[in-house]
Structure 1
Amino acid sequence: MKHFYIFIALFCFALTANAQFGVGGGGPTTTGRISGTVIDSITKKPMDYTTVGLYRSGGKSPITGVLTDDKGNFKLDNVKPGNYKLVISFIGYPSKTIEPVVTTASKPDNKLGTVFISPGAKALKEVNVVGQAPLIENRIDKIVYNAEKDLTAAGGNATDVLQKVPMVAVDLNGNVSIRGDQNVRVLINGKPSGATSASLSDVLKTIPADQIKSIEVVTSPSAKYDAEGSAGIINIITKQKNVSGISGSVSGGIGTRQNNGNANINYNHNRLSLSANVGGNMTWPQTSLTSSDQDFNYNDPATHFSQSSNGTSRVKRHGIIGTASAGYDFNAFNNLRTSIRLNQGGFDPNSHSTTTQTYYYDRTLDTAYTSNTLGHNSFGGFDWNLDYTHKFKKEGEELDLSTQWSHSKIVTDYTSVFSSVFDNQKNNINGINNEYTFQADYTLPVSKLLKIEAGGKNIIRRISSTSDYFVPSTGDDFVFDPNNSNLYKYNQTVFAGYTVLTFTLKKGYSILAGARVENTDIHGEPTSAVQSLQPFDQNYTTYIPSLTLQKQLSATQTIKLSYSKRITRPSLQFLNPFVNKSNITAQTVGNPALSPEVSQTVELGYNTFIKSSVINLSAYYKHTGGLIEGLATPIKVSVDGVDQDGTITTFRNIGVNNSFGASFFGSINPIKILTIRGSINAYTYKPTPSGSFQGQQTQTNTYVQYNAFLSASVTLPSGFIAESFAVQNSARRTIQGSNPSFSIFGVGVKKQFMEKRASIGINAIEPFSTYKNFNSNIKTPTFNQSSKFAFPFRSFGVTFSYSFGKLSFSNPQQPKKGINNDDLKQGDQGAQGAPTGGGR
């Protein structure tokens, strides 16, 4: 707790410094209005949804701003007397600056009248697509997908939205990857969530799509970001509007597969802002079909054994997420903001399977049995943030102090009943995750040519997991089994510091150079009654340089060369040495000696903007050392004195992988009402195992893996909009086999009315097939396994939305940063998870 007390002391010091750094003196209290009408100089038509920003003369940051209405009118209220400039921006048009714009105490109102803007050759630095309602933005350091503009996402969840983001893929289990790499850090509003550390895929399925404003994808993070996540960072931005007065919206969807609802309300008056949001998601029970074939050859006919299983799995899910936030500007230099985010979700699996075992060397041993598994899984917690921002009198100089406490709890209970061969079993798992983060960031624009950013960070993670295992007693009763139960405590502490320099040079050149150092300290304490397990420790320091060179070739073309280094820390279950025997024929075990995975990427990117069309191309080379993969090894297990064949899976640093890849994203408007956009990312996979792992490798070719997306949207008369999309992801390879490929197709139509404040729509996902099939394979020199999973994907739904309030923003003092934990390997459970079923 000493870290907490230190931070509180620093925070109190910052508040007491208010008198020194705050705005002093009084001044006129009279306020006025600046108004006008924006007109297209060629068509002479009013420009609606055009951004009008108000700046102080010579200033670089907007004081306030509005969007023009459907008649092109704008009004900026509560303007104090002074000298200003207006910057008017619209997609595909060069920004127009009007200066000076003067208001005085004697003449507080300034009516500008008609302001003409015209298309030109000069494009915006941040390129937007799709005209008035951009769906994709290509920025210098990221790609932004504006989910609120996607009508086919309505009624779904975060997983459905992520499937349509360029360069991002989501598999059937909800595992997220960028360019095929699952080592991704997923943030919510720029901050990690304790819930995602428990089970990312499950949490994503509980976030309603209607609650998502946009998704940012950062493929080459600079040194200011945490080093974790070799593939990059995905930041999910929820709808937290910053508007004057009171505003809000309600939306939802009802469908054959899932239902959701979302509501938010926002209040902003003077220097106080308040907002609240709540969203829920519930699926109808869904029944999947499963099958598996295993063949244990051992290169010896005398031990040849195989088994096959067929069954069903029925699951229903639910989740609710609520957020409340408050912010207050003490003056133009000091801001305090706090927010709390609550989440609760769960799912209840019910599976049944029939397994047939064949002993080729002795057919008298052939047998068959059934298994039934009932489970209950729940997860929930909160994320509390407190952020303080101090802006210095020098334009752009800023100090941010932030803290966050994330708490989550995951509970997994299941009971498996077998007709024969195996004993019935029961497992109750309780995991608790507490994460404390303290962060300071400082930004100093030294001159027009140089900006310096520096900061420090401390992340403290304290995780515990208790797995209580039970075996049959008498009748239907179970008794505690200490032999298979365990307690696991895991502590991780990370200290980090960084410096980033941004150079803005002549002739369109710019350089972003940075360096970061991170020290990771890990202590694990596994406890078992029968397994001889020892506490383990790891401590390592990682240096992370980053460099980006950009050249503005013309007003519409940019080329960028970047280098980044990332790491993937193995955590919790990857390091837990306890052998999990809850599924006796499919055991798992962690590896305390596992080292972090280190990747280095060099990328060359090109972006061009032609009228309303965008093309983004990139080619990259990625070297990964200490490549982490899970390896399955055949084992013999004894059940009532009879040997059974099974597998044990653990994680290893198997070697290195050198990958070459290229990606393309494009958006075009062949005709005014039609927008077509698509993306494809392809890359090679050919690892080089080291030492004994060479003997485990059965996939020796060079494989090309890819993910692709294509969509088309049509704007029709009378407020109708129609859209269709398709996603295709190839199978993902390992040195022992392949994981399932994935594809999805959807269509939707929406009708807008009440001046676009309300809408109702219908959509369909996979309308032509009830099930989607997912196949995977594992092959070792002595063991083969193929699995098939058929998931009910077809769904039809109705969506609705209604919004109210004033479309203007009037609180520019909101902090920009806050906590941003971009570390920990995704796919890892924050608390020990449970298997999907019993032994086979």
Structure 2
Amino acid sequence: MKRVLLLIAIFCSAISANAQFGGGNTSTILGKISGTVIDSVTKKPLEYATISVFRTGGKAPINGVITDDKGNFKLNNLPPAKYKISITFIGYPTKTIDPVETTLSKPDNNMGTISVAPSTKTLNQVNIVGEVPLIENKIDKIVFNAEKDVTSQGGNATDVLRKVPLVAVDINGGVSVRGDQNVRVLINGKPSGAMSNNLGDVLKSFPADQIKSIEVVTSPSAKYDAEGTGGIINIITKSKNISGVSGSISGGFGTRQNNGNANLNIKQNRLSITGSFGGNYTWPQSTPTIRESYNSLSDITNNQNATNKVERYAYTGSGEVSYDFNNYNAIHSTIRFNQGGFKAEGFTDFLTRTPTLTNTYRSENNSKTVFGGYDWVLDYTHKFKKEGHQIVASGQWSHSITDLDYGLKFFNTSTQPKQDATNGGTNNEYTGQLDYTLPITDKFKLEAGGKSISRIISSNSDININDEYRPDASNLYDYNQYVTAGYTVLTFTLPKAWSLQTGARYEITSIDGRSASEGLQFEPVEDTYYTFVPSFAVSKTFGGTQTFKLTYSKRIQRPSLQFLNPFVNRLNPQNISYGNPALAPEVSQTVEFNYSTFIRSSVINASVYYKNTKDLIEGSTLLPAPGETFNRTTYNNIGQNNSVGMSFFGSITPIKPLTFRTSVNVFTYNGRPYSQFDYLQVAENRGAQVMYNIFGNGTLTLPKGFVAETFAILNSPTRSIQGRNPSFGFIGFGVRKEILNKKASIGLNTLSPFKENIDFNQRIASRNLVQTSNTAFPFRSVGVTFSYNFGKVTFKQDNPMAPKKTGLNDDLKSGGDQGAGGQQ
């Protein structure tokens, strides 16, 4: 009931504000202006001529259309007034007709046949080039235009994200922004249920050729969900606002990965339809791993020498429909699905040494992970007469599944029985959201809204030991989460190039988790907590090129199913793993000071920031229980972290065809465990430790459609309270040639050409326990890419009535490498 009352109060306050500030509209009759445009000499219709309508005396167009193949046009939903009609077409001078009047008694005006004379100058060829830089530095975000990146073609979303400023991706696909892995990844401003549970695997299944750009928001306002302490990454897919039919096909073949993609775009009058489908397949790759652990308390040594061959596949598709009923009402619906998985098989040689015995044996293991789901979104936008005054109602249903099956067969031992296990997880999310925007004056804007999320999560695990079902180890676990939120954001444009934005968000979260298996003795989890989330940003611009900005934001990070799932994964018999249903959310507060400037073609963006995070969620490796020899890994709210950092991004073009870019992020990790977990941190992991992410890129544009590019990535080892994860770095090269009058291109790229494998060394140290691992991941690859664009289209400006694509559920902590899901 509290959630319902909160939503009603927010909506009523927004409508009340509208009435108070005079935002209402009087009813009126709407009409249309129509006509036919022809060439005055040939008398043939002009197809795809642009028709713009202005208020008489006005300078900005209020609407526009394009003529069809018979030269006809129709401007709908015009209130009675005097208008100016402008007709433009390549090779013809602009023709203006003023006034063209509609009245209450005659709301429709058919202008009949309009003749346009061709220009007296001959126009042999027109090349319209709109060069977008690879990286854009905007006031509230950094934008990486992936479609301009040569070396990303033929790869996946993980390959693209590794090049985005401030973003780092580890070998398992874990994504972090400025060192914080609690990042919300959206697709076209919308969440995906699959992203919350299988982020690394889903990103590897997402084709790079479907990505237009990637936006990074480090200090989201109160309008966004409070989740995601590291910020927001928004993946924008390729979609063209065009009139006509167009499409593209692309693909790549390589030594590591192969992929293919297809896109189709249709726009006719007020109806837009977009469809896409893509998939990829990774050749089987063998990965050797050596693990060692020593428990000094019980004098137990565990060694493993393993080799696993991993094979991946994935495909994804989407369909999108938008329809503008008129200038004031529009709907937009999207359905996106994905399916993927990987199979791993191999063998492991084990050695366990205790004071009383030495045991050596071998296992053959096989595992299969399948993930997938769909997201269906429906938006309705109502736009009022006042520019920027609108209300958007959104609904979303996200369904995602993850299924893990594994089998272990042991040799030369009688202590390790054969085992088979399955673990299936299902997540259904139902979301309703209302966003209201009211520009009270041209200097003051109000935004308000409310939202409700229901997450219904279920995990079902079955375990067989020596082909016998074990009910005492199997489990059915249900976890439900309900979030209700409301927000208000005020934006002020102040004198002397100052601007101010302040906002507040209030969220109520209720959780209920319980197991149907009484024998496992899982305690039910019930809790309700309240979160107040303020945000603040103030900026000042000097000379139109330099901007200083100070921001404050508070964020929380709720754990997702991978962290909560109590299923015991025994795929590694020397180190079992399981989730923790009692986890509380992380809470972080960040203060950031940012400076940005551009000088001609050069861009500089620099920030310093401080972040405090409480109730850190980290993996914890624990000592064996009495009488056991295997370690245990789970998740805990282990402590807090104070971090200071500096990030820098720069782009310079010393000569016209050559551009250099670099992104550097340096920050400290100073994790301090709570008293009950103090034993997990040893002296070598205490105190502030410096970490960094560095990216460098160079692009050379050559004559005759050639583009060459190179890049390098270097990430320092990442720290945790208990240990250190491996560093990561490699280089890549690529070249592309445009052909067929720029309708197609072919390319060649390579990653890590000078080193076949990249070594990753991990070390975990706590009181009485040291554990290390070394894995050699095959990374060298060479691939050929191609793309082809088809269709006859005319590009248009973005439709201001298109439903606003804002984030719905940008809120769950995701990732982790529990079990087979963490394999590369």
TM-score, length of structure 1 as denominator length: 0.85
Matched, 1:515 2:504: yes
- The answer as to whether partners of 1:441 and 1:456 remain within 8 angstroms in 2 is yes
The 5 A counterparts of 1:308-707 are 308-359=303-354, 361-362=355-356, 365-419=357-411, 420=413, 421-472=415-466, 478-576=467-565, 583-636=572-625, 643-698=627-682, 699-707=685-693
In the other structure, the counterpart of 1:784 is 770
**CA displacement 1:269-295 (0-9 Å, x = unmatched):** 111111111111111111111111111
Separation (CA, whole Å) in 2 of partners of 1:352 and 1:54: 71
- The answer as to whether partners of 1:54 and 1:86 remain within 8 angstroms in 2 is no
Deviation at 1:766, TM superposition (A): 0.5
In the other structure, the counterpart of 1:83 is 84
- The answer as to whether partners of 2:485 and 2:506 remain within 8 angstroms in 1 is yes
**CA displacement 1:9-52 (0-9 Å, x = unmatched):** xx9xx9xxxxx999733243126599xxxxxxxxxxxxxxxx99
Change in Cα spacing, 1:271 to 1:85, as seen in structure 2 (3 Å) is same
Matched, 1:770 2:762: no
Deviation at 1:318, TM superposition (A): 0.7
Counterpart of 1:815 in structure 2: which amino acid? Answer: P
In the other structure, the counterpart of 1:160 is 159
Counterpart of 1:569 in structure 2: which amino acid? Answer: R
Separation (CA, whole Å) in 2 of partners of 1:188 and 1:593: 30
Q: In terms of mean alpha carbon deviation, does 170-179 or 696-705 score higher?
A: 696-705
- The answer as to whether partners of 2:33 and 2:75 remain within 8 angstroms in 1 is no
- The answer as to whether partners of 1:64 and 1:810 remain within 8 angstroms in 2 is no
Q: In terms of mean alpha carbon deviation, does 375-384 or 809-818 score higher?
A: 809-818
Matched, 1:756 2:742: yes
- The answer as to whether partners of 1:247 and 1:803 remain within 8 angstroms in 2 is yes
Counterpart of 2:335 in structure 1: which amino acid? Answer: I
Counterpart of 2:238 in structure 1: which amino acid? Answer: K
Counterpart of 2:34 in structure 1: which amino acid? Answer: T
Change in Cα spacing, 1:506 to 1:108, as seen in structure 2 (3 Å) is farther
Deviation at 1:809, TM superposition (A): 2.1
In the other structure, the counterpart of 2:808 is 820
Separation (CA, whole Å) in 2 of partners of 1:275 and 1:406: 20
Deviation at 1:735, TM superposition (A): 1.4
SS at match of 2:197: helix
Deviation at 1:717, TM superposition (A): 1.1
**CA displacement 1:72-102 (0-9 Å, x = unmatched):** xxx9987799337999xxxxxxxxxx99995
Separation (CA, whole Å) in 1 of partners of 2:616 and 2:87: 53
In the other structure, the counterpart of 1:47 is none
- The answer as to whether partners of 1:33 and 1:76 remain within 8 angstroms in 2 is no
Deviation at 1:811, TM superposition (A): 6.1
Deviation at 1:231, TM superposition (A): 0.4
In the other structure, the counterpart of 2:105 is none
SS at match of 1:230: coil
In the other structure, the counterpart of 1:151 is 150
Separation (CA, whole Å) in 1 of partners of 2:736 and 2:386: 48
In the other structure, the counterpart of 1:189 is 188
Deviation at 1:467, TM superposition (A): 0.4
The 5 A counterparts of 1:23-422 are 24-30=29-35, 63=63, 82-83=83-84, 104=100, 105=111, 132-298=131-297, 303-359=298-354, 361-362=355-356, 365-419=357-411, 420=413, 421-422=415-416
Deviation at 1:571, TM superposition (A): 3.7
- The answer as to whether partners of 2:369 and 2:821 remain within 8 angstroms in 1 is no
**CA displacement 1:657-677 (0-9 Å, x = unmatched):** 111101000111011110100
Task: Give the total of aligned pairs.
Answer: 760
Change in Cα spacing, 1:52 to 1:284, as seen in structure 2 (3 Å) is farther
Separation (CA, whole Å) in 1 of partners of 2:205 and 2:95: 49
Separation (CA, whole Å) in 2 of partners of 1:240 and 1:723: 25
Q: In terms of mean alpha carbon deviation, does 221-230 or 55-64 score higher?
A: 55-64
- The answer as to whether partners of 1:321 and 1:344 remain within 8 angstroms in 2 is yes
TM-score, length of structure 2 as denominator length: 0.86
Deviation at 1:686, TM superposition (A): 1.0
Separation (CA, whole Å) in 1 of partners of 2:769 and 2:393: 54
- The answer as to whether partners of 1:31 and 1:78 remain within 8 angstroms in 2 is no
- The answer as to whether partners of 1:526 and 1:577 remain within 8 angstroms in 2 is no
**CA displacement 1:686-745 (0-9 Å, x = unmatched):** 122232322321211321111110010101111111000111111110111101111121
Separation (CA, whole Å) in 1 of partners of 2:283 and 2:571: 29
Change in Cα spacing, 1:402 to 1:131, as seen in structure 2 (3 Å) is closer
- The answer as to whether partners of 1:583 and 1:835 remain within 8 angstroms in 2 is no
Change in Cα spacing, 1:31 to 1:738, as seen in structure 2 (3 Å) is farther
Counterpart of 2:399 in structure 1: which amino acid? Answer: H
- The answer as to whether partners of 2:186 and 2:232 remain within 8 angstroms in 1 is yes
Separation (CA, whole Å) in 2 of partners of 1:250 and 1:23: 47
Q: CA RMSD in A?
A: 3.3
Q: In terms of mean alpha carbon deviation, does 221-230 or 753-762 score higher?
A: 753-762
SS at match of 1:701: coil
Change in Cα spacing, 1:496 to 1:100, as seen in structure 2 (3 Å) is farther
- The answer as to whether partners of 1:626 and 1:653 remain within 8 angstroms in 2 is yes
**CA displacement 1:162-188 (0-9 Å, x = unmatched):** 000000011111111100100001111
- The answer as to whether partners of 2:65 and 2:73 remain within 8 angstroms in 1 is no
